[in-house]
Structure 1
Amino acid sequence: MTRPLSMTASTTVSAVGAGREALRAALHERRGGLRPGDFPGGPEGVWIGRVPGVEAVALPPDLASYACRNNRLAEMALRIDGFADAVAEARERHGAHRVAVCLGTSTAGIEETERAYRRRSPPGGALPGDFDFARTHDLQSLPRYVRARLGLRGPALAISTACTSGARSFLEAAVLIEAGLVDAAVVGGVDTLCRMTLMGFNSLELLSRGGPCRPCAADRDGISIGEAAALVLLERAGDAPAASPLLLGGGASSDGHHMSSPHPDGLGAVAAMRAALDAAGLAPDAVDYVNLHGTGTRANDAMEDRAVAHVFGERGVPCSSIKGWTGHTLGASGALEAVAAGICVEDGLVPGCLGVEEADPEFRSDVATGNREAPVRRVLSNSFGFGGSNCALVIGQGRAASAPA
């Protein structure tokens, strides 16, 4: 990135509550949102990060054909934090054609298709006639809905790179802005619970059993799946009307090591982190906190510890994962954690891993297990996905005076 981008406005809904202030309070109070699994048709004995009230959300009448769990959760986010108003102001500043929508999702509206499948007609098994795949399940449904809902006319892109989707949306939007194709973009991610995701991770034996996930713990045993919507308005820093956290840089890599397992030495993760630091013009010692992808699986957390120690040195920078609060929200996680990173910068907060008394003694990085108050000028936030997709964002107050990496 040649210039920082302003995160002018943001909004989020997750298991810890609706709105930025709910997320902020949960982090400070160390109050998680994971609960015993109660999603219809889901596996037993696991905990999930379910957002209450999604089913009751009504979309605007003229957009009712987009109704699905994913778009309902997006609508919940659009109604809070003054986000829709902030986008309307940006639309007035730049013009509706000059504001893009780049949103990540992995499940999209799969839950709507699951419902339709249960209603298929015998004997041929045809899906019901009122099922609208394009507006409910298709990956493009989410950005199409958000663009229409906000009255925008710029490019609308769906990003689906597994669990890096929400973070990758920031990079794709930055390219559009730097190329001069648009002046602002609504970015982020929305992913919702569905039977396919829950049972799929269950079949891979990756779900934590008997309690919430505990990233970085010595006896960690897996993931807790959650759902979330996180949206951010990105603009050139000079165009933003008020001081906001900045997207200073981002980097991505694709190591293609394995369909579902990370490279054991984190080579792709190292490449993404270094690319993000280079894009931001920062040396590693300019980062005050690393938000780990930290899913709670044995392989992911061990790999990420090695990668962080490789880039930042052993015990070089405080790091932790917030998935003990929200669960792993899949394609929304990178965007949700970008919003959390902005809160950490604003509040000078390093949120220690929730429910972890002591980090894995084999880890070489400085894993925080309790909240720490300290100046947090810049956060590097990691996201990793199936298939070897890796992404890192640098969020903070401004460029460092130290030499580039």
Structure 2
Amino acid sequence: MTEIAITHLGLCTPLGQTPEQVLTHLLEGNTDGMQWRDDLIPNTQVLVGQVDAVLPEIPEHFKRFRSRNNQLLLAAAQQIEQQVELAKTQYGTERIGIILGTSTSGIARGENALAYRMEHGVLPDDYLYSKQELGNSCDFLQHYFELSGPCYTVSTACSSSAKVFASAKRLLNAGVCDMVIVGGADSLCKLTLNGFHSLESISKGHCQPFSINRDGINIGEGAALFTLVRGKSEIMLAGVGESSDAHHISAPHPEGTGAIAAIEMALKDANIDAYQIDYINLHGTATMKNDAMESRALAKVFGQSLPMMSSTKPLSGHALGAAGAIEAAFCFLLLSKLNVTGRMPPQLGDHLWDENNPLLPFVQSNMHTKLNYIMSNSFAFGGSNASVIFCRGTI
């Protein structure tokens, strides 16, 4: 099977907007990106992962794409723009694909438009329904980069931008594309926050994955983009596994059957054994059922060879459709030359682990190891599961 290289990264997250800044905050367990908001859920303060950077303005000739979601995406896109321009001259615009994952797209613009209509009786002049369509960000990026290859969106809730790696791998292996830009973007909006609040799934404070006291998630926002090509580079896409357990409309299978299938498929795709994984970025949402399922699935697959692991959602929030890409970016940085000592992000919380579930070996502050293979898990509503393995190119 063709080797797939991950050559460049662009990112915009609550932990920062440069690789150096994000890695530093990740390894320190810095929670400064988590902020209290009182304007998202009526009569309720909620802690969210928020990007506070000054975002780039979307040019006038792209005004039909103007939304915060696309501003987050543009901030990440500008960081890989030079590489995309070089690829256009090398491969041609029709040989470069784009696959993104999202859950919210520009829904916040629709919310603002409805609020305007309530006050003025008409929708604002700049309102376009297309801004909140799920394919809007992918369409924007294709126009921005002036590309003509395959371009589509994956929207499978929390596994969306993890599954894009599998889609890109198929396009590259089939010879349809010579480069694929993958990633995801999601932005904070009232629809999402109130939806999860109605499900009683929003934490009252900082989320605490795998704690006996966990009470729900912190929603986040952000964007991450990668360029994938055939060949070798410092960081490689080693393997991807996808599954759907279809157990329930929202709850995962309690024993993690779908998660197990995705993890085992990723290991098989990478052609490695479970004991070769050095660190796992957990899905770790801090909901009762997800954490119970994920711990059971990992215990079943890895047995006595469980590697160190942690959930990074207490640092950045759960970015839903963009979570897979943002956490893939974390994995990319952990494997990069920037992380010279092989440090791993610590597991935050009260450390009162839920004894009803298998105990996992969580990363503590300043722990490090030799990192060759890293796994990132993304498990979504309805049992849509994805497990992605990244590795160094010089193993």
**TM-score band w.r.t. shorter chain:** over 0.9
CA deviation digits over 1:139-198, x for unaligned, max 9?
111011111112222111111010101101111111111111111111011001100000
2:238 matches 1:244:
no
Match of 1:282 among 269, 272, 277: 272
The AA in structure 1 aligned to 2:367 is R
The AA in structure 1 aligned to 2:254 is P
Check conservation: 2:234, 2:394, Cα contact below 8 A. no
CA deviation digits over 1:366-398, x for unaligned, max 9?
222434110010011100111110000010115
Q: Percent identity?
A: 38
CA deviation digits over 1:42-73, x for unaligned, max 9?
6623210111246x641122212210111111
The AA in structure 1 aligned to 2:95 is R
In the TM superposition, what are the counterparts of 1:294-309 in structure 2 within 5 Å?
A: 294-309=284-299
Check conservation: 1:201, 1:207, Cα contact below 8 A. yes
Instruction: Quote the offset at 1:40 in angstroms.
Output: 4.5
2:103 matches 1:106:
yes
2:164 matches 1:169:
yes
Unaligned runs of 5+ in 1: 401-405
Match of 2:316 in 1: 326
CA deviation digits over 1:295-320, x for unaligned, max 9?
01121111100000111114621111
Q: Measure, in 1, the Cα distance between the counterparts of 2:97 and 2:222.
A: 21
Instruction: Quote the offset at 1:117 in angstroms.
Output: 1.5
Match of 1:342 in 2: 332
Q: TM-score, normalised by structure 2?
A: 0.93
Check conservation: 1:357, 1:369, Cα contact below 8 A. no
2:353 matches 1:359:
yes
Match of 1:397 in 2: 392
* Secondary structure in 2 matching 1:275: helix
* Secondary structure in 1 matching 2:45: coil
* Secondary structure in 1 matching 2:386: strand
Q: Measure, in 1, the Cα distance between the counterparts of 2:317 and 2:43.
A: 16
In the TM superposition, what are the counterparts of 1:192-271 in structure 2 within 5 Å?
A: 192-209=187-204, 211-238=205-232, 243-271=233-261
* Secondary structure in 2 matching 1:265: coil
Q: Measure, in 2, the Cα distance between the counterparts of 1:265 and 1:371.
A: 32
Instruction: Quote the offset at 1:36 in angstroms.
Output: 1.4
Match of 1:379 in 2: 374
The AA in structure 2 aligned to 1:107 is T
Instruction: Quote the offset at 1:253 in angstroms.
Output: 0.3
Instruction: Quote the offset at 1:399 in angstroms.
Output: 9.0
- Change in Cα spacing, 1:70 to 1:369, as seen in structure 2 (3 Å) is same
Match of 2:80 in 1: 83
* Secondary structure in 2 matching 1:17: coil
* Secondary structure in 1 matching 2:71: helix
- Change in Cα spacing, 1:37 to 1:267, as seen in structure 2 (3 Å) is same
- Change in Cα spacing, 1:121 to 1:199, as seen in structure 2 (3 Å) is closer
Instruction: Quote the offset at 1:92 in angstroms.
Output: 2.0
Check conservation: 2:98, 2:150, Cα contact below 8 A. yes
Q: Measure, in 1, the Cα distance between the counterparts of 2:209 and 2:127.
A: 39
Q: TM-score, normalised by structure 1?
A: 0.91
The AA in structure 1 aligned to 2:320 is L
Bigger drift between 294-303 and 343-352 goes to: 343-352
* Secondary structure in 2 matching 1:74: helix
The AA in structure 2 aligned to 1:393 is V
In the TM superposition, what are the counterparts of 1:33-44 in structure 2 within 5 Å?
A: 33-41=33-41, 44=44
